[in-house]
Every structure is written in C-alpha cells, then in structure tokens.
Amino acid sequence: MSQNVDWQVKAFADLTTKELYDLLQLRQEVFVVEQTCPYLDADGLDDQAFHLIGRDQQQHIVAYARLFLPTTAQPYSRIGRVISAGKVRRQGLGQELMRRAIEWCQTQAADAPIRLGAQVYLRAFYQSFGFKEISDEYLEDDIPHVDMERD
C-alpha cells in the first residue's frame, strides 16, 4: 500500500478548502466516532502546524499527521493527530507515516528532540521508532496516554 500513496507536507495556508475538510473528516471519523471520544478536534492549533498528508490513487486522504516545529516556549518538534484510515490499516502505512513525520521534523529542526502524546495501547509502536516515555500515564479525553520523546 505505501508505495501507492502520494505524500505531501503543507502549511495550513497552503491547504485547499477540500483538503482541510477531508483531513478534518478523517480525524473525526477515527478519533471521535470510531474511538467514541467526543472532544474538540478543531483546537485552534491547525493554523500553526504543518500537515503531512498521504493520499491513495483515488486522491482520498488515507494517512495524516500534524507536525509542529520547535518554539522558544517548546524547544522540541511535535507530532500529533497520527492517523490512518480504517480501510488501509495493517498494511504498513502507519509505519511509513511515522518514518516520514520523523524525517520531516529532523530535516526542519535537526537538533531538536521530537515529542508526542501516545495512546497507551500504541506505546510499543512508538518505541519501535526510538521514542521513550517521559511521563506517567494520564487520561486525555478518557483515553490513557503517555508523553514520549525521541532524541
């Protein structure tokens, strides 16, 4: 599957209205509906992020991650909203998505560590990319999470 996916990273201002709608729809399908977790996905941070988008041959968004560069207040890159569409899971696309997200962060801010908030059941997945736990478990929207960092 991953070889048939077209990847792009776009700043918020470069997203088309259709792209923004499609990525928000995918995020809601998985994070709100599939995980039965009502929460405010449109959190006011999308305009500060870069958006890693993977599209299939039909131009549907099948993989996505939200990427943040380091700031003075947060001297690390951040990867969030990591998602793959249900129809493409277990085909290696999540691994390809994470490889690309890490590579982008390292290219943009080579000396900065990378952080993410991982759902606890995905801890081993993120550890396979070199992330280590840096917090105790906590509940975010009633889902157990742990903060992780990669040097």
The reply to whether the predicted model has a pTM over 0.95 is no
**Location of structure tokens 């590579």:** 103
Q: Output phi, psi for 118, to 5 deg.
A: -100, 135
Q: Are 14 and 54 in contact (CB under 8 A)?
A: no
How far apart are the C-alpha atoms of 97 and 65, rounded to whole Å? Answer: 7
Q: Are 134 and 149 in contact (CB under 8 A)?
A: yes
The per-residue pLDDT for range 7-60, each reduced to its tens digit, is 999 999 999 999 999 999 999 999 888 888 888 888 999 999 999 999 999 999
The average confidence (pLDDT) of the chain is 93
The per-residue pLDDT for range 91-107, each reduced to its tens digit, is 889 999 999 999 999 99
Identity of residue 25? Q
User: E strands along 56-142, which residues?
Assistant: 61-68, 77-84, 114-119, 132-133, 138-140
**Per-residue model confidence (pLDDT) at position 5:** 94
Q: Which pair of structure tokens corresponds to residue 23?
A: 């990525």
Ordered by where they begin, the domains of the chain are 2-110 (3.40.630.30)
Q: Are 79 and 116 in contact (CB under 8 A)?
A: yes
